[in-house]
Structure 1
Amino acid sequence: MGLERAKIVALYARYLDRCNEHRFDQLGDFVCEQVSGSGATDGLAGYIDRLETVHTAFPDYRWELQDLVVEQDMIAARLIGQGTHTGPFDGMAPTGRRISTQELVIYRFADGKIVQCWGDFFPVVRDAMMAAADAER
């Protein structure tokens, strides 16, 4: 049985708060152990590892929810993210550049947790970093 819309919205808001607070050890409250999606590694540990990679490279990175569409057990979230590149990311040395991204992520929920997640964060960040470098030239 699916969650009510209001419960999914509230759950996602709490999840996003934990991500922005870098409290990844609490994501098991929101994401199932067997989560799958667009990442190279499935499972909660791989999911958290990808978020920790972001935090290492962009310690001040924050996501801000712009739009949220809820349809039964799925949501689509349009997010704006900002952070400063002070750590290694995807083979790139720290640049000190501040980037801004726009990202679309689709989630599927079951039993009150995220069971699937499809997003394009890493390509979006790479594009934003290239744009920031081009703007400096």
Structure 2
Amino acid sequence: MATTTGDPKALVTEYAEIWNDQEFERFSDTVADSFTFTSPTSGTIRGRENVEAYARDVAAAFPDFEITVHEMLAGENLVMTESTISGTHEGAFDGIPATNETVEIRDMAKFVVEDGKLQDEHTFFDRHEFLGQLGLLEE
């Protein structure tokens, strides 16, 4: 895909495609060098290269990882998404050995856009639901 022109919705759409296609070297097209990523599983990760390394770890653990964006709202410098994140846990992740369970969780994310690049993503999902779908919680 061609590099976006800094349109906030286009940046977030391309960013999701990068995750889905596992073409993490393309992060430089959409995210700033100082990009910050925060999620319930990762905590806060600072720097594009560190986020890229985390994304590669996610892809190794969930080779069929996919983000499906259902709705996107954008302002001048802010984008909010409602998505589903899914994948099969086939490799170690966050110290958890592969469970071979498939997860499908709802996710909300807030993106900040400045200077034509994504500067920050803060994603919100139910970590308890995630761990439960991996079969790691007692019923």
So what's the TM-score if we normalise by structure 1? 0.83
Give the structure with the larger strand fraction: 2
Matches within 5 A, 1:44-59: 44-59=48-63
C-alpha distance in structure 1 between counterparts of 2:36 and 2:135, whole Å: 33
Q: CA–CA distance in 2 between the matches of 1:37 and 1:59?
A: 20
Whether the 8 Å CA contact 2:102–2:133 is kept in 1: the answer is no
Which stretch shifts more, 35-44 or 22-31? 35-44
Is 1:16 equivalent to 2:6 in the alignment?
no
1:79 corresponds to which residue?
A: 83
- CA distance in 1 between counterparts of 2:31 and 2:129 reads 27
Note the C-alpha offset of 1:134: 7.1
Cα separation, partners in 2 of 1:37 and 1:136, compared to 1, 3 Å: closer
Normalising by structure 2, report the TM-score.
0.82
Unaligned runs of 5+ in 1: 1-5
Match of 2:118 among 86, 93, 114: 114
Divergent runs of 4+, >6 A: 134-137
How many aligned residue pairs are there? 130
What does the per-residue CA deviation read over 1:94-134, in whole Å, with 9 as the maximum and x for residues that have no partner?
Answer: 0111110111111100111101111236x63x632324527
The whole-number CA distance in structure 2 between the counterparts of 1:118 and 1:11 is 15
CA RMSD, aligned part only? 2.4
Show structure 2 runs of 5+ residues with no match. 1-5
8 Å CA contact 2:101–2:133 kept in 1: the answer is no
Whichever structure has more helix as a proportion of its residues is 1
